[in-house]
Chains A and B, each alone.
Chain A
Amino acid sequence: MKYQSQAVAKPYFIAAIGLFVGQIVFGLIMGLQYVVGDFLFPAIPFNVARMVHTNLLIVWLLFGFMGAAYYLIPEESERELYSPKLAMLMFWIFLIAGAVTILGYLFVPYAKLAEMTGNDLLATMGREFLEQPLPTKVGIVIVALAMLFNLSMTVLRGRKTAINLVMLLGLWGLAIFFLFSFYNPANLVKDKFYWWWVVHLWVEGVWELIMGAMLAFVLIKVTGVDREVIEKWLYVIIAMALITGLIGMGHHYYWIGTPSYWQWWGSVFSALEPIPFFMMTLFAFNMVNRRRREHPNKAAVLWALGTGVMAFLGAGVWGFLHTLAPVNFYTHGSQITAAHGHMAFYGAYVMVVITMISYTMPLMRGRAANSKTAQVVEMWSFWLMTVAMVFITLFLTAAGTLQIWLQRIAAEPMGFMAAQDQVALFYWMREISGLVFFVGLVLYITSFFIKGKEAPAD
C-alpha cells in the first residue's frame, strides 16, 4: 500500500463481504421456497426474500466498487485521497442506511414501509431492484455524489491515467443512471423503458468500465506488463462495451410496448455484446502469460483469470443464448433469464470485486500476499463457488428450457404453476448447488483468518 488513505477501502470491503453472506443466505431461503412454498411463511414471504437477495447483491457490489475506487484512485493518481474523513463518513451513512432499509423490508409490510417513508410524496418504490424507500434512494445519491467529489478531486490534482479516468467515468455513469430511479411516469411502457436504464444500463454499460479498470489495475500489479499495453486494451474494450451495450439494451424493449424496430436494434447490437467480454478474457490470459514477474499472490491471479472466463460465459454466452428477438419471444421472463442473471452477476461483477479484494486486502494488512495455507483455502473457495455457480446456471437453464417447452411451445400449454411443479427436480438440484456455493463462501471468509508464513510487503 503506497498511500495511507487507501486504507479506507478496508471497511468497505469488509462490509461488502458481510452483505454478500446475507445475500447468499436469502438466496438459499428463496431457493428452498421455490420447492417448499411455505418455508418460513409468513415471517419471510417469497417476495421479501427475493427483494432482500437482489438488493443486497446490488448494495454489496456498490460497497465493493467504492472500496476498489478508494484504493485504486489514490494509487493511480499518485497522491493521497482528497478527504479520507469524507470517505469514512459516507461509509457509515451508506452502511446504516442499507441496514435500516433491509430491516424495514424484513419487519414492516412493504405497503406500510412505503407509507412511512413518503412514497406518496414521490412514488419511486415497488419496482424490481428499486424497492428502496425514498430516503434510502436520496441517501444513495448523496453518498455517490460525495464519493465522486472526493475521487474527482483526487484525480484532478494527481496523475491522470487511463485506468483512473475510466474508473471515474464508470462511477459517474453509475450515479447519473441511478437518477432514473426517481423517474416514475404514469405510462406503464415509459415506466418500464426508463426502469431498464438503472440496473441494466449499469451492468451492460458503465459497470463494464468499472470492471475493466479494476481488472486492468490488478493485472498491471500482478503481471508487471507495461502499462501502455494494458491501457490500449482497456480503451478498446470500453469503446466496444459502450457501443454494443448502450444500443444492445434494446433487447429489453422487445415486448413492453415500445416500437418494433427495437427488435432489430436490440438483436443486432446485443448479439455483439459478448465481444467486449471475450476481449476481456483474451486480455486477462495474455497479460498473465506475458507476465514479467511472479507475484506471490497467486489467489488474486486466479480470481482475475476466473473473472475473464466466467464473465464471458455468464454475460456473453448465456446472454447471447436468449438475446435475439425471435428466441426471446419464447424465453423472456423464464428461468433462462434467471440462469443468465446468476452467472453474469457472479462471473463479471462478484468475481471482479473479489479479485480486487484478494489483491488489496493482504496489502492493507501489511503484506504482499497471504500465507500459502491461506491462499490454498482461498483457491478452494474459488473453485467451490465457481463450480457451484456453473451448476446453478446449468440447472436453471434446464429448468428454463423445460418450463418454456411445457408452458409456451407444447401442443397443450400448461399454466405457470403446473409447469413449475414439473421442473421442481431442477430447483432441488439448484438448491444443493447453492449450499455448495455457501460452503465455498464460508471457506473464503475463513481464509482471511488463517495465519502462516506470509510474503513480506514490498
Chain B
Amino acid sequence: MNIAVALLAPQGRRRDLPGDLAMWFFIFAELLVFGVLFLAYAFARARNVELFNASQLELDRISGAINTALLITSSYFVVRAVDRIRHGASRACVHWLAAAMACGGAFLVLKLVEFGAKFDAGITMSTNTFFMFYIGLGFFHFMHVVLGMVILGAVALKAWQGGYSAADHTGVETGASYWHMVDLVWIVLFPLVYVLR
C-alpha cells in the first residue's frame, strides 16, 4: 500500500528514485519474474544435480563471461551518459549511450552465436530440464536486452535532438534504470546457469 501511496504523492519531492516511477514498477515486476525463474532453476536442479552438472559442462563459459563483461561495461557507459546529461552535455550523453548500445549489440550477436552452436548440436528446449532453462531463460533475457536497447535508442534519439537538459533529464535516468536492471539480472543469471555446480 506504501507503494501505491507514494505513486500518488505530489510530484514535488523528486529526490526519490532516478527516473520515472512507473518504470520502477515495471522494473520491480521484471525482477519478480526473473526471481521466480531463477528459483525454479535452483530447485529443479536440486532434484537433478547430476543431469544439471553434466549438461552445464557443454556450455560455452567463456562466451558467457565475455557477455557479462559486455553488459557490465555497457552499464558503466550508461552511468557516464547520465553523468554527461547532468552537466547538460547532450552530445557526449549520446556518444556514451551509443557505446552502451554497441556493447548491447555485441552481447546479442554473441548470444546468437552461442544459441546457434547449441541448435546445430541438436539441443533444444526439449533436450532436458537444464537446457529448457538455459534456452528459455537466455531467450527471455535476450528479449529484455532487445527492449533495453530500444529504450536506450529512443532516449539517445531524444537527447540527440536536444530534448534533455541539465535541469530536465528524467527520461535518461528512466532508460538508464531499465538498462541497469537488465545488467543486474544477468549478473545473477550468469553464475547461476554457467558457473554454479
A235 to B22, CA, bound (A): 7
Does any Cβ of B come within 8 Å of A425's Cβ? no
Among listed B24-32, B57-65, B153-161, interface-contacting one:
B24-32
Q: Which A residues lie within 8 Å of B26 (CB)?
A: 235-236, 239-240
Q: Is A290 an interface residue (CB 8 A)?
A: yes
Q: Find chain A residues with CB under 8 A from B21 CB.
A: 232
Q: Is B150 close to A, CB under 8 A?
A: no
Instruction: Mark interface residues in B128-152 (1 if CB within 8 Å of A CB, else 0).
Output: 0000110010000000000000000
**A271→B33 CA distance, assembly (Å):** 10
Give the residue name and chain of the B residue nearest to A289 (CB).
Answer: B8
| B171 CB → nearest A CB, Å | 14
Give the residue of B5, B32, B40 whose beta carbon is less than 8 angstroms from that of A264: B40
The answer to the question of A261 belonging to the interface, with a C-beta cut-off of 8 Å to chain B, is yes
| A residues near B133, Cβ cutoff 8 Å | 264
Q: How far is the CA of A261 from the CA of B129 in the complex (A)?
A: 8
Contact of A261 with B132 at beta-carbon distance under 8 Å, contacts A232-B21, A239-B26 already known: yes
B184 at the interface (CB under 8 A from A): no
Chain A 245-282 per-residue mask, 1 if CB under 8 angstroms from chain B, else 0: 00000000000000111001100110110010000001
The dominant DSSP class at the B interface is helix
Q: Is A229 an interface residue (CB 8 A)?
A: yes
Residue A83 CB within 8 A of the other chain: no
> Which residues of the other chain, B, contact A232 by a CB distance below 8 angstroms?
7, 20-22
Contact present for A272 and B40 (CB under 8 Å)? no
Q: CB distance B25 to A236 under 8 Å?
A: yes
* Structural contact, A275 and B136, CB atoms closer than 8 A: no
Please indicate the chain A residues that have their CB under 8 angstroms from the CB of B4 in the complex.
282, 286
A261-B33 in contact given A235-B22, A268-B40, A286-B8 (Cβ < 8 Å): no
Complex CA–CA separation, A239 to B20 (angstroms): 15
Q: Given A233-B7, A260-B126, A261-B126, are A268 and B36 also a contact pair (CB < 8 Å)?
A: yes
Q: Is the CB of A236 within 8 A of B22?
A: yes
A225's nearest neighbour on chain B, judged by CB, is B8
Q: Are the CB atoms of B8 and A239 closer together than 8 Å?
A: no
A272 touches B22 (CB 8 A): no
How far apart sit A265 and B135, CA to CA, in the bound complex (Å)?
Answer: 12
Does chain B have a CB within 8 A of A243?
Answer: yes
Residue of A nearest to B25 (CB): A236
Whole-angstrom CA separation of A142 from B126 in the bound complex: 40
Q: Please give the distance in Å from B72's CB to the nearest CB on chain A.
A: 25
**Nearest A residue to B11, CB-CB:** A228
For the complex, give the distance between the alpha carbons of A233 and B21 in Å.
Answer: 10
Give the CA-CA distance A290 to B25 in the complex, in Å.
20
Taken residue by residue from 1 to 42, chain B's Cβ proximity to chain A (1 for < 8 Å, 0 otherwise) reads as 100110110000000000011100110011011001100100
**For the complex, is B125 an interface residue (Cβ under 8 Å from A)?**
yes
**Quick check: A229 and B132 within 8 Å, CB to CB?**
no
Contacts of B25 in A (CB 8 A): 236
Tell me the bound Cα distance from A127 to B125 in angstroms.
30
A212 shortest CB reach to chain B, Å:
13
For the complex with contacts A236-B22, A261-B136, 17 further pairs of A-B residues with Cβ separation under 8 Å are: A232-B22, A233-B7, A233-B22, A235-B26, A236-B25, A236-B26, A240-B26, A243-B29, A243-B30, A243-B33, A259-B126, A264-B44, A264-B136, A268-B33, A268-B36, A268-B37, A282-B1
